[in-house]
Structure 1
Amino acid sequence: MYKLVKPLLFSLDPESAHYTVAGGLRSFCKLWGSKRLLKSIYGFDDPKLEREVFGLKFKNPIGLAAGFDKNAEYVGEMAALGFGFIEIGTVTPRPQPGNDKPRLFRLRADEALINRMGFNNQGVDVAASRLSRLKDRQGLIIGGNIGKNKATPNADAVDDYVTCFDALFDVVDYFVVNVSSPNTPGLRDLQEKEPLKHILNTLQLRNDKQGVSRPILLKIAPDLTNSQLDDIVEIVQETGIAGVIATNTTISREGLKDSRHLISQTGGLSGAPLTKRATEVIRYLATKSDHGFPIIGVGGIHSAEDALAKLEAGAALVQLYTGFIYEGPGLVRRIGRKIAHG
């Protein structure tokens, strides 16, 4: 079915297509029996898919990466497509419009996207309010991806992360600290060892509410050197956070086929060109740490084989976004069947 509508969707500009699909899915899911129908088509339940990772029980290891549902508007609808967990955000303390449009570009020849969205979101309180009103999560794991406002200087960045952490604590199952997006000026500077340790240690000190704590993960860029990845391993071990998401988008344009105009667009590149590098980062972290912490693998998963490669490299879970856009919702089911039955 997706093959029939994909040409129409790809005739729209990417951001318009995103809201057309998400809005249409939300409208459809208001019909009686619609979510059950979607689950029967796209879902795949099998005990072999169940995972327990950083103390949480996942019904399957296939998640929706942050960026698709920035404001927690489509959690139930995306769960109906078979995802085992949904990561909302990136959210910031205050609402912000993000960067000027156009800010999302398709590279069809490369099966890739370039985005410079700039953490456009309605603010953490809006997302928290929506999540608090979810009626039945049915075992769905929800992650909260948190960042800083563009106007917040890096010296005060920790305050923004704390604000988001406190606001989402009661409504998400795990947190992701995003310091690796290339679309907020200076944000990647927070990946340096000392500022990053300060943010993570501060959050860890707050990570106890009436005896309850939440797993905290760090999302890293694929552009880090091996030396920087060594620092990441050390930081995870020193701060005691739960794990790492590898990887975010890349600023590299190496080996792209699409037009020079698109390649020259600034922003983060995602999709098939990231497949190999993301897997390399996962394998390096897993080997260097002696599998000392869980890794969520994301980046260039366009097939069941791509997902298996991430898992075999050392990932405990995987996430989709750009591959989901290019391949459609059937990708979730195909990955689940491959993991369960080979």
Structure 2
Amino acid sequence: MNLNFLMVQKNKYMLRRNRRLRNNESIRSLVRETILHPNDFIVPLFIVEGSNIKEEIPSMPNYFRMSLDNIEKEVKELQRLNLKSVLLFVKVLDNLKDNAGKEALNPNGLMQRAIKTVKNVAPEIIIMTDVALDPYSIYGHDGIIENGQIANDSTANFLAEMSISHAQAGADFVAPSDMMDGRIQTIRQALEQNNFINTGILAYSAKYASAHYGPFRDALDSAPVDLMDIPKDKKTYQMDYHNRIEAIRETVMDVKEGADIVMVKPGISYLDIVREVKNAVDVPVAVYQVSGEYAMIKAASERGWLDHDAIMMEQTTSIKRAGADMIASYFAKDIVKLIS
């Protein structure tokens, strides 16, 4: 038989067919690179004063503000689902708000009582706490207003005091979300000086001035007020979404100042930043899948435009695939129920 004919016959067949590894769900799951697990998630919790309160947030369907008695029930359910971490936010009464944020240091304040409540119900759950002034501020800003501007250094010093108060109440991690310069070092030094050497810092390191935060601000009534003599938005301290290299600079600085975990916020519009940060640092990287991302999926699925569970899983998996070691997500419970 002609040898040349045999070679032609042999080479007409593809030796590599990548679709063999997609042939059915069993093989697809066997070779899958990115898999979501309950350990991947941080569950945000919104807490209000009162009792027997579980009120749905209008712009965040099926997500709730809860009083401490219902937070106890919620935490027990999270345990049953093998979710191991919560991020606490409080809705502060208007009469307790001021420019200095003094209610944030109240040892019997809502945040401090929330920390103790969760720790008493589930000592093994990791408690992370929001460290920022906007829930306590009459202006809705993350910092103290001085001469019409957000005062960086006095705010950083106050956030260190707030962090100590949270640590005293039992927080495992403090999560400064303010984007003041140098606040990680200030907080870390304060924790060390007060012997809270094991209290961690989850730094919102690359937090962008995003339009995705609207529903969250509704949930806590923490939107900036529109007054002529103060900034009308948070663009002087949160990052410009046009920038990429700046995110790396901010994150590396936070790691050098003592951050144990760094965060990129928001998620789906910033996957390039997530990967850049993951490549740049040697600490765990968190991503916040924020309220606007949640609300968009809810709204589109309610209208029948998207398959809720399919798009929820796809977007959240993409965040992990981009490099997130953990994800703060309002979908955490829904996802864990699906993957279980």
Please classify the TM superposition score into its range, dividing by the shorter chain length: 0.5 to 0.7
- CA–CA separation in structure 2 for the residues paired with 1:278 and 1:179: 19
TM-score (norm 1): 0.52
Q: Which residue of 2 aligns with 1:245?
A: 263
Q: Which residue of 2 aligns with 1:204?
A: 188
Q: Indicate whether 1:76 and 2:72 are aligned.
A: yes
**Residue 176 of structure 1: CA displacement?**
0.6
- CA–CA separation in structure 2 for the residues paired with 1:242 and 1:202: 14
Q: Which residue of 1 aligns with 2:40?
A: 61
**Residue 203 of structure 1: CA displacement?**
0.9
- CA–CA separation in structure 1 for the residues paired with 2:335 and 2:87: 18
**Preserved contact between residue 275 and residue 322 of structure 2 (Cα < 8 Å):** yes
- Matched residue type, 1:214: T
**Preserved contact between residue 221 and residue 247 of structure 1 (Cα < 8 Å):** yes
RMSD over aligned CA atoms reads: 3.5
Deviates more, 1:297-306 or 1:80-89: 297-306
Q: Is the partner of 1:293 in helix, strand or coil?
A: coil
Query: Structure 1 residue aligned with 2:283, among 264, 289, 293?
Result: 293
**Residue 97 of structure 1: CA displacement?**
5.2
Query: Structure 1 residue aligned with 2:165, among 158, 164, 167?
Result: 167
Q: Which residue of 1 aligns with 2:272?
A: 280
Q: Which residue of 1 aligns with 2:328?
A: 319
Q: Indicate whether 1:222 and 2:208 are aligned.
A: yes
**Preserved contact between residue 64 and residue 87 of structure 1 (Cα < 8 Å):** yes
Query: Structure 1 residue aligned with 2:112, among 123, 128, 145?
Result: 128
- CA–CA separation in structure 2 for the residues paired with 1:158 and 1:91: 21
Q: 1:1-342 alignment to 2 at 5 Å?
A: 60-65=39-44, 68-69=46-47, 73=68, 74-79=70-75, 80-81=77-78, 82=81, 83-89=83-89, 96=96, 123-125=104-106, 126=109, 127-134=111-118, 135-148=120-133, 149-150=136-137, 152-153=144-145, 154=151, 155-170=153-168, 171-180=170-179, 190=180, 196-197=181-182, 199-208=183-192, 209-210=194-195, 212-219=197-204, 220-223=206-209, 224=239, 225-248=243-266, 275-289=267-281, 292-299=282-289, 300=293, 303-321=312-330, 323=331, 329-334=333-338, 336-337=339-340
- Given the superposition, is the C-alpha separation of residues 91 and 160 from structure 1 closer, same or farther in structure 2, using an over 3 Å criterion? farther
Question: How many residues are aligned here?
Answer: 211
**Residue 178 of structure 1: CA displacement?**
1.0
Deviates more, 1:83-92 or 1:221-230: 83-92
- Matched residue type, 1:276: I
TM-score (norm 2): 0.53
- The Cα offsets for residues 142-176 of structure 1, whole Å up to 9 and x where unpaired, read as 10111125362314102320221111103111111
- CA–CA separation in structure 2 for the residues paired with 1:69 and 1:130: 8
Q: Which structure 1 residue ranges, 4+ long, deviate > 6 Å from structure 2?
A: none
- CA–CA separation in structure 2 for the residues paired with 1:307 and 1:65: 15
- CA–CA separation in structure 1 for the residues paired with 2:95 and 2:165: 14
- Where does the alignment leave 5 or more consecutive residues of structure 2 unmatched? 1-34, 50-66, 139-143, 146-150, 210-238, 298-311
- CA–CA separation in structure 1 for the residues paired with 2:48 and 2:274: 25
**Residue 60 of structure 1: CA displacement?**
2.1
- CA–CA separation in structure 1 for the residues paired with 2:245 and 2:323: 19
Q: Which residue of 2 aligns with 1:12?
A: none
**Preserved contact between residue 246 and residue 298 of structure 1 (Cα < 8 Å):** yes
- CA–CA separation in structure 2 for the residues paired with 1:231 and 1:146: 22
- CA–CA separation in structure 2 for the residues paired with 1:234 and 1:307: 25
- CA–CA separation in structure 2 for the residues paired with 1:228 and 1:284: 11
Q: Which residue of 1 aligns with 2:4?
A: none
- CA–CA separation in structure 1 for the residues paired with 2:175 and 2:91: 11
**Residue 216 of structure 1: CA displacement?**
0.7
- CA–CA separation in structure 1 for the residues paired with 2:325 and 2:104: 30
- CA–CA separation in structure 1 for the residues paired with 2:198 and 2:189: 10
- CA–CA separation in structure 1 for the residues paired with 2:102 and 2:48: 6
- CA–CA separation in structure 2 for the residues paired with 1:161 and 1:70: 21
**Residue 298 of structure 1: CA displacement?**
1.8
